[in-house]
Amino acid sequence: MTAAEPIRLLLFLVGAATFVGLNAAYLVWVERKGAGRFQRRAGPTEVGYAGLLQPIADAGKLMSKQLIVPPGADRMLFRLAPVMMMPPAIMAFAILPFSEYLVGIDLNVGLIALFAFSSFNVIAVMLAGWSSRNKYGIISAARVVSQNVAYEIPMMLVIITILMLAGTLSLTGIVDQQAGAFWNWNLFALASNPLMPVTFIIFFVCMLSETNRAPFDMAEAESELVAGAYTEYAGMGFGVFFMAEYANIVIGCAIAVILFLGGWHSPVGVFPGVFWFLLKLYFMVFVVIWVRWTFPRTQFYGLLNLSWKILIPISIFTLLLSAVMIKLV
């Protein structure tokens, strides 16, 4: 073991943690500005130029608030839940390939690792809701589980479709197969599956649902459940969940970029690099925010019906279709 490798990993860890923190802080600003623009108002303007210092003020507020454990709550699980939420989100950044060279560990099972880490998300939110001893929390916990179980299935079917095309679980391997111009991207791999754009839309819907974003934010539907599983969390307890939510959005969009949109490769075949990855990533994040402020929240049975009656049959069909096409071509 030479000196370079542990130092490289340490730097990557610090870099990933910083990236998560800055993303969480400034995506909140982008979200509030975006929401403002969509609703024809200005958004935050007071703190700093165009409200740019607003996230720092928010962070100061959250960190200086008292941490309260409600009486009757399961104290240990209540404290454990935010701890289970954050580290897997940061660990996922060690696997995501930002560019050819900018990747923490190039695991040959990277894709499975990403989904393994994201499975902590569900159990953390569920424990948070359960341990708060709050009826809104428990309703939210029950919702989050049934929602995530329902949307995990079409998500995995879509992933299998992509895997059959790629033939590798390595994220850098999947990106490398999409080199060249944009018609090599998996999104436009119409020769091996004419329904690929549909597959991408299914993936995007499942990603919105897995990250509990509107219009599927059943877990913290504020007009019905106060703040759902996070109702009883004060100060940084809530702050950690909030940061993890934005980290998960970034991870979900990064998976979409890696699997469908060619990762760090340029759409016109020149200058591949981390620049393109970030551009595509933040475009996807913008779409997520756009969707949130455009569509109203669905009803809960509508949500489950969408998954079980529409997304799962279609994704099974596209899976079989691409199996047949791969066999024939």
Work out whether 162 is an interface residue with another protein (CB under 8 A): no
- Looking at beta carbons only, is 156 or 179 nearer to another protein? 156
Kindly state the DSSP code that residue 311 receives in the 8-state scheme. I
Work out whether 47 is an interface residue with another protein (CB under 8 A): no
Provide, rounded to whole angstroms, the least separation between the CB of residue 24 and another protein: 23
Q: From 2-10, 36-44, 190-198, 260-268, give the range in contact with another protein by CB under 8 A.
A: 2-10
Q: Tell which one of 18, 108, 294, 299 touches another protein (CB under 8 A).
A: 108
Work out whether 122 is an interface residue with another protein (CB under 8 A): yes
Provide, rounded to whole angstroms, the least separation between the CB of residue 116 and another protein: 4
Q: Tell which one of 126, 165, 218, 257 touches another protein (CB under 8 A).
A: 126
- In 3D space, the residue among 322, 291, 282, 326 whose CA is nearest the CA of residue 158 turns out to be 322
- Lookup result for tokens 């003020």: 57
Provide, rounded to whole angstroms, the least separation between the CB of residue 296 and another protein: 23
Q: From 27-35, 47-55, 112-120, 277-285, give the range in contact with another protein by CB under 8 A.
A: 112-120
Long-range contacts of 61-64 (CB under 8 A, 24+ apart): 62/235, 62/236, 62/238, 62/239, 63/235, 63/236, 63/239, 64/235
Nearest 5 degrees, angle CA 224-CA 227-CA 231? 125
Work out whether 127 is an interface residue with another protein (CB under 8 A): yes
**Assigned token pair, 194:** 């004419």
Distance from C-alpha of 184 to C-alpha of 165, rounded to nearest angstrom = 12
Q: Tell which one of 29, 117, 136, 246 touches another protein (CB under 8 A).
A: 117
Cβ-contact 239, 231 below 8 angstroms: no
- Lookup result for tokens 């409200």: 51
Provide, rounded to whole angstroms, the least separation between the CB of residue 20 and another protein: 20
Size of the site for another protein (CB under 8 A): 42
All residues at 6 or more sequence positions from 249 whose CB lies less than 8 Å from its CB, including other chains: 27, 211, 213, 285, 288
Provide, rounded to whole angstroms, the least separation between the CB of residue 160 and another protein: 11
The 269-308 site mask, x for binding another protein (CB under 8 A), equals -----------------------------------xx--x
- In 3D space, the residue among 143, 89, 93, 146 whose CA is nearest the CA of residue 119 turns out to be 89
Work out whether 243 is an interface residue with another protein (CB under 8 A): no
Distance from C-alpha of 97 to C-alpha of 105, rounded to nearest angstrom = 9
Provide, rounded to whole angstroms, the least separation between the CB of residue 36 and another protein: 37
Q: Tell which one of 57, 69, 138, 179 touches another protein (CB under 8 A).
A: 138
Q: Tell which one of 35, 142, 274, 287 touches another protein (CB under 8 A).
A: 142
Distance from C-alpha of 29 to C-alpha of 27, rounded to nearest angstrom = 5
Cβ-contact 92, 118 below 8 angstroms: yes
- In 3D space, the residue among 244, 247, 263 whose CA is nearest the CA of residue 255 turns out to be 263
Work out whether 141 is an interface residue with another protein (CB under 8 A): yes
Cβ-contact 308, 209 below 8 angstroms: no
Work out whether 74 is an interface residue with another protein (CB under 8 A): yes
Q: Footprint of another protein on this chain (CB under 8 A)?
A: 1-3, 5-7, 74, 76-77, 80, 107-109, 112-113, 115-117, 119-120, 122-123, 126-127, 130, 138, 141-142, 145-146, 148-149, 152-153, 169, 304-305, 308-309, 312-313, 316
